[in-house]
Amino acid sequence: DSLEKLAMVGSGNFGSALVRILGQNALRHDIFDNEVKLYVYEEMIDGKPLTEIINETNENVKYLKGAKFTPNVKAVPDLAEAVKGATMVCFCLPHQFLKPLMPTIKESVAPGAKVLSAIKGIDFDDNGVVLISDLLRQGLNADCSVLMGANVANDMASDQFCETTIGYKDAKNGELFKLAFDAPALKVGTVPDTVGVELCGALKNIVAIGAGYSDGLGYGGNTKAALIRIGLKEMIKFCKMFYPTAGIDDDTFLESCGVADLITTCFGGRNRKCAEAYAKANKAKTLEEIEAEILQGQKLQGTLTAKEVNHILKMKNLERAPRFLSDRRAHPGAPLFATPTALCLSLVP
């Protein structure tokens, strides 16, 4: 048949919030097949596989407790099976987990499938930055849109109004994914600037670590506003430095994926929360320990992205690199990821 078949790869906090919307929209719009498959990285919860729990209760009790999926969302522990036959495949995993899955994804995603990445992160190779969407484009030989925005998953899960941004290369596919995600409480904007949208999503997590650190040191709104403002300028600088000819549009930074995501993440995100706890612990615990303790299996992206960005800047020997992204100002003993900390410290006496 000619119905579009939806699949979501990734069932963490945000993957679950997004598939909840996909499930509703698959029932709402005639162009979609009713069933939405959800790849779940299987784990046991009180002796029972998480996939079974999701399929029996329509709820991801571990990563998005309290939010119900429509029953047409089917949790599948086998990746190949989850994406088989899908014509629209969405990816939403912590970015470090994508690469090991690529061989299976390559084998299993149907030729001609349209792909969307909601993964906030970057990768790198010997030449510099590698976009996660490019890994998917090249790996699957597919068109890939991106979805990034001010979307704290737990708030979305209770249908509090928010916006998001889809960046597309193929306008027709951008519109299809918009139809799949747009909902009464989720307003989707579309822009043709995939690179700007994706880099905003990745880089703001670094700024959020700085914001959390500032909170943990007891500084107020003025300091955080300064971090957000400088952080945004440096995100823009990074984008233009690495992608001068990609058509990155200044307006993208004013979309949900830009300034709005930066604000919500610096106030309500997990990167912020863990960095605050890290500052308060005064080096008694590592950020990794705090991550495990507070997030219970959910993953920070800002720490890893800061390391990756730092590596890329060092590799390129970029003397005038955006300073929050570089560790040269870090105070002695600061781990690489704490580079926004250096900015915090440089802003206060």
Ligand X SMILES: O=C(CO)COP(=O)(O)O
Instruction: Report, as residue numbers or ranges, the catalytic residues.
Output: 204
Residue nearest ligand X, CB atom distance: 269
- By CB under 6 A, name the one of 151, 165, 214, 339 that touches ligand NAI: 151
- By CB under 6 A, name the one of 79, 88, 152, 180 that touches ligand X: 152
Instruction: Pick what 95 binds: ligand X, ligand NAI, none; C-beta below 5 to 8 Å, kind-dependent.
Output: ligand NAI
- Beta strands per DSSP E along the chain: 4-9, 32-39, 44-45, 48-49, 73-76, 88-91, 114-117, 122-125, 128-131, 144-148, 162-167, 186-191
Contact flags string 278-317 toward ligand X, x per CB under 6 A: -----------------------x----------------
Does 299 bind ligand NAI (CB under 6 A)? Our answer is: yes
At closest approach, how far in Å is the CB of 89 from ligand X? 21
Which residues face 76 on adjacent strands?
39
At closest approach, how far in Å is the CB of 295 from ligand NAI? 7
Does 41 bind ligand NAI (CB under 6 A)? Our answer is: yes
> Closest Cα to residue 82, out of 93, 66, 94, 96?
93
Q: Among positive and negative, which fits the CA dihedral 19, 273, 235, 336?
A: negative
- By CB under 6 A, name the one of 15, 23, 174, 340 that touches ligand NAI: 15
**The amino acid at 180:** A
SS (H, E, C) 249-298: CHHHHHCHHHHHHHHHHHHHCHHHHHHHHHHHHCCCCCHHHHHHHHHCCC
How many helices (H) does the chain have, and how many strands (E)?
14, 12
124 annotated ligand binder: no
Which tokens sit at 37? 């498959």
CB atoms inside a 10 Å sphere around CB 235: 25
Residue nearest ligand NAI, CB atom distance: 12
Sole window of 149-157, 221-229, 283-291, 320-328 interacting with ligand NAI (rule: CB under 6 A): 149-157
Binding residues for NAD(+): 10-15, 97, 153, 270, 299, 301
Q: Which residues bind ligand X (CB under 6 A)?
A: 120, 150-152, 205, 208, 261, 264-265, 269-271, 301
Q: Which residues bind ligand NAI (CB under 6 A)?
A: 10-15, 41, 63, 92-95, 97, 118-121, 151-153, 297-299, 301
